Structure 1
Amino acid sequence: MTDAHETYFERLVDEDALAAYLEGELGPVERYSVSHHQEGHSNETLFVTWGERELVIRRPPPGEVADTAHDVLREHRVMDALQGTDVPLPETLLACEDHDVIGSDFYVMERVAGDVLREEEPERFVDHREAVGYELVDSLVAIHEVDPRDVGLSEFGRPAGYTDRQVERWDDQIEWATEVTAEEREVPTLRKVGDWLEANRPSSHPHTLVHGDYKLDNVLFAPGTPPDLVAVFDWEMSTLGDPFADLGWMLSYWRDPKDPEPAIPELTARFMERDGYPTREGLVARYEERLGIEFEHERFYRTLAVYKLAALGEMFFRRYLEGNSDDPMYPKMRDRVPALAERARRMIEGEEPL
């Protein structure tokens, strides 16, 4: 571990205090270790060996964050409520609001074995490519089919007006980020995209539980074949709202062979461009068939997804400029956010179709 990573790790966790907390909740053990999982780019993930158990801790990043972002206790609440439903999830164990333990809210869950598909497909999936896409869609449908009243989430959000608030929220997040980032460089196309979204919001939408960050690298497939999606992660944006926002977000990460070069190549998997994977149109057809509704206003929802991604990138860039992250991706947002704004423009103009 380099000096910089060691310093950042020390900001993430007090290992002695965490050990005392876990011992009080789970009992004493002889084996204990903590490591920082650096694949994510939002909330921080720690892997913990506690005796014979493998655990995962989720906590927000250190330093100032935008209002409502990185709410790990909200993430825990929805995952805990969905235990026992058709939504595939890790088992939740503990939630802690005591900042004396590791300096922030956090929660603990069991670690699930398997693969997250980020840069490449597992060799065992080569003959099951269609199933990978369909498993992804089917698990999203399982989320959207949950009756919030049945799982104690009827007050988890305000589904009416959700899409309007999404446009406003990501406008606000960009404004928060640009308080700092505008001193480095400006992205005028983002404002034009925001104006288009404001003018083209759907007048109505279905009301369901939504994940808020549903995409291929936020799910895990069990070992073996055929592909079996066994866990959905990263629920910090979940609420009651518009299911089409989830679908548009998922589609924004799914590549077709006809697509231009990605705006963020470092974070873009391209293996689904290969023969055998469903196209975006195929994923939408599967979703519509399984849920029994039509995906209307697809251009709006896909553009909203890219606008959201640009907002997140700008927030990451602010955190980098303020010294509140050691993530090597964050400084690259200087150029990647303008590229995302251009991608959103292409969607608006019909140059990057479904």
Structure 2
Amino acid sequence: MTEVTDLVDRDGLREFLASELGETETFDVKRHEEGFSNETLFVTWGDRELVVRRPPPGETADTAHDILREYTPIDALQGTDVPVPRTVAACEDTSVIGSVFYVMERVDGDVLRFSAPGRFNDPDHQRRIGEEMVDTLAAIHTVDYESVGLDDFGDPEGFTERQVKRWTEQIEWAFEETTAKREVPEIGRVGDWLTENVPTNPPAALVHGDYKLDNVIFGPETPPEIAGVLDWEMSTLGDPLCDLGWLLFFWPEEKDPLPPIMQTISPPFLTTGEYPTRAALTERYEEKTGFTVDNHRFYRALAVYKMAALGEMFYARYLMGNSDNRFYEMMDDGVPAMAEQAVSIIEGDQPL
């Protein structure tokens, strides 16, 4: 198990924070146990609550610097309509704590994964959760990325086509290990359909890359209001409708024939109560952004394809003996189920 001492040189961090924020007698560091990629540390500095983000131990110099790419849009979006944590500083000097890292203020509130706070049980509040998700996504997609210094943050031209190609290559890599155990012919059909149906001339915007309910924090107030958008490590300039498709993929409805694997990765409480439908979310998104979503089947199928690719890579690592994670093992059945879900979306059997 990774300990705090494996992740940070406390003396180095203390000296760094003192230079940025001034000295304090109160200093404590705790590891956030729920992270799956980059490491998150909660730091108490006097009367301030901070967050330190750093790459996992053992990352190479090139991949470790992805953490600073995550910092870039958060810092650039300070003072805009996009709710992001207040940044403190970033550090490329690996001698300070043992890796590159950045520091931001901790946002108070709740992350909604498997349940929603009781204060949100009111039907109006449930509807508001969906509206907040869409309004915040629209704020991301309509920000003038050039004016905030993100004009060279990515290449929107050909972005959607590259997404299909990238995830196809990831699936093919995983298949080298997994096809000896079982095959998933439907996923090839999905990939071919996506390749043939890539939208032409999609809009260009700042995209988050992993925008879903458990990557935002709802503040402590009622009615619900998003206080911060987190996990920007996949952000770039590209096709904003890919973000919308990803959000809709993780927004189940009561009518959905959800495969068991989806019940482990999407918020189950969204299938009850008065949460907005995917159609209502899409309509509001069009109103807030001015974009037209007339090919939602492509973007929804692409989202499932991406998750299936991730799942197949997880399963390959499990078969290689590189992980004993039960979730990785579940992809034996989970990826074929997601492939069937994508086919159903393509064929129009799972309407918006």
Whether contact under 8 Å (1:156, 1:240) holds in the other structure is yes
1:79 corresponds, among 53, 66, 74, to: 74
Match of 2:249 among 212, 235, 252: 252
1:118 match: secondary structure: coil
Determine whether 1:61 maps to 2:56.
Answer: yes
Post-superposition offset of 1:95: 1.2
Structure 1 CA distance for aligned equivalents of residues 3 and 227 of structure 2: 31
In structure 2, the residue matched to 1:299 is 297
Q: Cα distance, 1:182 vs. partner?
A: 5.4
2 CA distance for matches of 1:238 and 1:56? 19
Percent identity of paired positions between Structure 1 and Structure 2: 59
**Aligned twin of 1:332:** 330
- Structure 1: tracts of 5 or more residues without a match: none
Classify 1:238/1:22 alpha carbon distance in 2 versus 1 (closer, same or farther; 3 Å).
Answer: same
Pair 103,328 (structure 1): closer, same or farther in 2 beyond 3 Å: farther
One-letter code aligned to 2:116? E
Deviation of 1:160 after TM superposition, in Å, equals: 1.4
Contact 2:65 2:100 in 1 (8 A): no
Note the alpha carbon deviations across 1:114-161, whole angstroms, 9 max, x for none: 011110111111111111100110001101111111101111111111
What's the CA shift for 1:179? 5.3
Alignment of 1:1-354 (within 5 A): 5=1, 7=2, 10-63=5-58, 71-127=66-122, 128-178=125-175, 186-262=183-259, 263-317=261-315, 329-354=327-352
Contact 1:43 1:70 in 2 (8 A): no
The offset of 1:9, in angstroms, is 5.2
Separation in 1 of the partners of 2:18 and 2:5? 20
Counterpart AA for 1:210: V
1:13-67, Cα deviation, whole Å (9 max, x unpaired):
34444344334443443333322223343333222222322111222334468x9
Contact 2:64 2:100 in 1 (8 A): no
Distance 2:100 2:204 in 1: 29
**2:119 alignment partner, SS class:** helix
Contact 2:3 2:31 in 1 (8 A): no
Structure 2 gap segments, 5+ residues each = none
For the 8 Å contact 1:18–1:101, the answer to whether it is kept is yes
Q: How many pairs are equivalent? A: 348
Distance 1:30 1:334, change over 3 A: farther
Cα distance, 1:185 vs. partner? 5.2
State the 1:97 CA deviation: 2.0
Contact 1:70 1:236 in 2 (8 A): no
Conserved? CA contact 1:211–1:235, under 8 Å: yes
The 1:225–1:68 alpha-carbon spacing in structure 2 relative to 1, beyond 3 Å, is: same
How far has the Cα of 1:303 moved from its partner?
Answer: 0.6
Give the secondary-structure state (helix, strand or coil) at the position aligned to 1:151.
Answer: coil
Alpha-carbon distance change, 26 to 338 in structure 1, aligned in 2, over 3 angstroms: farther
Moved more, 54-63 or 288-297: 54-63
CA distance in 2, matches of 1:271, 1:192: 32
Deviations 1:214-243 (A, max 9, x none): 111111111121111111111111111111
Q: In structure 1, what is the Cα distance between the partners aligned to 2:23 and 2:87?
A: 19
- When the two chains are superposed, the root-mean-square deviation of aligned CA atoms in Å is 2.6
Residues 55, 109 of structure 1: 8 Å contact kept: yes
